[in-house]
């Protein structure tokens, strides 16, 4: 079990920034320091991830592994630049479907819009990516694990419509099998770092509690994809978060401002906006 004092979370890329000199863009990248180990969840949408890291004094060359929460451009677009900065072979852990061509098509759209990785696998491997593609959890330490493929267990967290993959020249609904998170078991409880939570925030927390063997959740950090969620789903999610007694919520990106405002009003000082430049150490205090 990790001593909470050995953990630091630095949000390098996010929609908005908390300080002068950082670029806000639609995307997410969070650096997790566990003692001397460094893990990067996602790489943001562009090379701004690298410039933001420089502005924050974050040395990306210290990264031990990169975890991709899924294959959308806003979480993978900065990967080539991050790899170039690291300058060596680096583990990149992802679900195999993260590399599939991904598209979006909303009602009224005339065509499918590409939203997958902007760089080809071969180019990323040339830049230093050593892909580990698996649907199973990957244990980075005894107390840090990727979620692997996250099962659906709730009845109120459907996949958002409009996402597709292209297979055999045909567009098919994307089940977001590649959606994954990072779980950390600490002396204060679980810390769950989300990318977009396409498979549902509560589904993910349930999976974390089962995989990590503990029910107490200290912090949920990252994107929840509650922005486009129906009002009923948001209400059920908030009720479940309270039932689970989640201590802290540091949410951002696809959570959306209206949903974030509801969460902030409901959870008070236990909620905070997790923007580019936010640095979190534990324990959090009101």
Q: Where are the domains of the chain?
A: 4-281
Full-model pTM:
0.97
Query: With contact defined as beta carbons under 8 Å apart, do 92 and 68 qualify?
Result: yes
Q: What are phi and psi of 251, to 5 degrees?
A: -110, 160
- What would the pLDDT profile of 50-79 be if each residue is shown by its tens digit? 999 999 999 999 999 999 999 999 999 999
Q: What is the dihedral of CA 280, 265, 156, 26, to 10 degrees?
A: -50
Query: With contact defined as beta carbons under 8 Å apart, do 12 and 44 qualify?
Result: yes
Query: With contact defined as beta carbons under 8 Å apart, do 28 and 13 qualify?
Result: yes
Query: With contact defined as beta carbons under 8 Å apart, do 47 and 94 qualify?
Result: no
**43 closest CA partner among 94, 104, 88:** 94
Q: Phi-psi region for residue 213, left (φ > 0), alpha (ψ -120 to 50) or beta?
A: left
Q: Which residues of the chain have pLDDT under 70?
A: none
Q: Is the dihedral of CA 117, 126, 40, 142 positive or negative?
A: positive
In CATH terms, the fold of domain 4-281 is Metallo-beta-lactamase; Chain A (3.60.15)
Q: Is 76 helix (H, G, I), strand (E, B) or coil?
A: helix
The pLDDT of residue 280 is: 97
The pLDDT of residue 247 is: 98
**189 closest CA partner among 276, 243, 120, 247:** 247
The pLDDT of residue 18 is: 82
The pLDDT of residue 20 is: 87
User: Strands 144-146, 182-186: parallel, antiparallel or unpaired by DSSP?
Assistant: antiparallel
Q: What are phi and psi of 221, to 5 degrees?
A: -130, 135
The pLDDT of residue 283 is: 96
Q: How far apart (Å, rounded) are the C-alpha atoms in residues 116 and 171?
A: 13
Q: How far apart (Å, rounded) are the C-alpha atoms in residues 101 and 76?
A: 13
**197 closest CA partner among 239, 226, 156:** 226
């Amino acid at each position: 079990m990790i001593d909470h004092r050995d953990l630091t979370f630095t949000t390098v890329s996010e929609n908005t920034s908390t300080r002068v000199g950082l670029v806000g863009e639609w995307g997410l990248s969070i650096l997790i320091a566990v003692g001397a180990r460094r893990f990067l969840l996602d790489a943001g949408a562009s090379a701004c991830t690298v410039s933001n890291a420089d502005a924050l004094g974050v040395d990306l060359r210290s990264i031990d592994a990169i975890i991709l929460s899924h294959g959308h451009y806003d979480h993978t677009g900065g990967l080539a630049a991050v790899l170039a900065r690291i300058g060596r072979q680096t583990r990149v852990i992802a679900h195999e479907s993260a590399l599939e061509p991904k598209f979006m098509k909303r009602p009224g759209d005339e065509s499918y819009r590409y939203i997958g990785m902007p760089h080809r696998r071969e180019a990323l491997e040339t830049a230093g990516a050593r892909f580990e593609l698996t649907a199973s959890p990957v244990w980075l330490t005894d107390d840090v694990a990727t979620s692997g493929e996250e099962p659906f267990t709730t009845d109120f967290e459907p996949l958002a419509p409009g996402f597709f993959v292209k297979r055999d020249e045909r567009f098919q609904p994307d089940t977001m099998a590649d959606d994954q998170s990072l779980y950390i078991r600490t002396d204060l409880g679980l810390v769950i770092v989300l990318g977009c939570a396409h498979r549902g925030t509560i589904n993910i927390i349930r999976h974390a509690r089962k995989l990590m063997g503990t029910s107490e959740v200290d912090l949920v950090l990252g994107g929840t994809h509650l922005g486009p969620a129906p009002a009923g789903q948001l209400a059920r999610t908030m009720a479940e978060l309270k039932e689970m007694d989640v201590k802290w919520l540091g949410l951002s990106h696809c959570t959306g401002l209206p949903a974030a405002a509801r969460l902030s009003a409901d959870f008070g000082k236990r909620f905070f906006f997790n923007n580019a430049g936010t640095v979190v150490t534990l324990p959090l205090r009101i």
